[in-house]
Amino acid sequence: MEVKIEESWKTVLKDEFNQPYFQQIPQHLKIEKSQGKIIYPPGSLIFNAFNTTPFDKIKVVILGQDPYHGHGQAHGLCFSVQYGVPPPPSLVNIFKELQDDIGIQAPPHGNLTHWAEQGVFLLNASLTVRAGEPMSHSKIGWATFTDTVIKKISGLKKNVVFLLWGKFAQEKRTLVDETKHLILRSVHPSPLSAYGGFFGCKHFSKTNEYLVSKGIDPIDWSL
């Protein structure tokens, strides 16, 4: 299968695209579509995180679980929604912490493309989902693929900040070499858990302090 993905990623992941498990993913999606299932995000946006943030440009990784499963929300960047779609509760809380941490006002939209363009890799562990069914594609091969992506970033780069929010994301810390990267952990920004430590985590300022200490340009978190 020919994967339309940015060139630096194509080089880093070329061996994965030929693996049997990866070849089965598009087959699975085709079967579901033939059964009338709606799948998010649209096909052209499945690899949006990769195409917006080239491998060479990564400074920060934020890990989500799987795409939003409501109509018109998901566009291939974790926690982000398309313009014109109200920010979901977790994203509202991310903006609240951003304001409390570094004084940036919540934007009038929930599109995080500006972050991605600066090197914030917004990766979901699953890159697709069935409409209305969270985690419905968590077992079709995406986890194997995205675990490999995290390992490649850890192995081939240095001084990347990994923001692991919630239990699911924190379980991925074993894939990261903490001797050459920074891992910042907290509970998930969901309304169910945000008051248990996401608010006040100051991950945005801590990320920039670390980047600057390594001679790397900080992220402009405004949107």
Q: What is the pLDDT of residues 136-151, one digit of tens each?
A: 999 999 999 999 999 9
Structure confidence at residue 3 (pLDDT): 75
Identify which of 142, 138, 178, 140 has the alpha carbon closest to the alpha carbon of residue 162: 178
Report the interhelical angle of 142-156 vs 7-17 (nearest 10°): 130
| Tokens of residue 106, six digits | 């919540």
Query: Is it the case that residue 192 has pLDDT exceeding 70?
Result: yes
| pTM, to two decimals | 0.97
Query: Is it the case that residue 1 has pLDDT exceeding 60?
Result: no
| Tokens of residue 56, six digits | 């060479």
Residues assigned a catalytic role: 66
Structure confidence at residue 25 (pLDDT): 97
